[in-house]
Structure 1
Amino acid sequence: MGETSPPHAADDARGGEIILRTRRRRLIFIGGLVAWGLIAILALFAR
């Protein structure tokens, strides 16, 4: 087999930071959140 990379430290592997540096990325992220919210609301009323 090939070589394996060294294991990552727990603090490095956790991530959790969302980097939205450009306006375009922020709009896409917020648009995705809004879309999920609308889908959830529509699913409630579709019953």
Structure 2
Amino acid sequence: MSDQGKTDPSEAPHDKRGLTRSALEARQGRIILRKRWQRVVFIAGLVGIPVVGVALTWLAAA
């Protein structure tokens, strides 16, 4: 049995140039949170990072 007709996607030839974007286009990042649960998780993550930091600092001092 021959596997010559089957190709692994990870072995596909790649274009070394890739996608070209100007510096202005590359800096135009936008966070798109369409659903309510996505917004809640995002905000919880932003709030949770400093809360965990304060908690760890408080626990280390105790």
TM-score (norm 1): 0.68
Aligned residues: 47
Give identity over the alignment, percent. Answer: 34
Report 1 or 2 for greater relative contact order, CA contacts < 8 Å, sequence distance ≥ 6.
1
Gaps of 5+ in 2: 1-12
Q: Counting helix residues as a fraction of each chain, which structure ranks higher?
A: 1
Residues 1:32 and 2:45 are matched in the alignment: yes
Gaps of 5+ in 1: none
- What CA RMSD, in Å, does the superposition of the two structures yield over aligned residues? 1.9
Larger Rg: 2
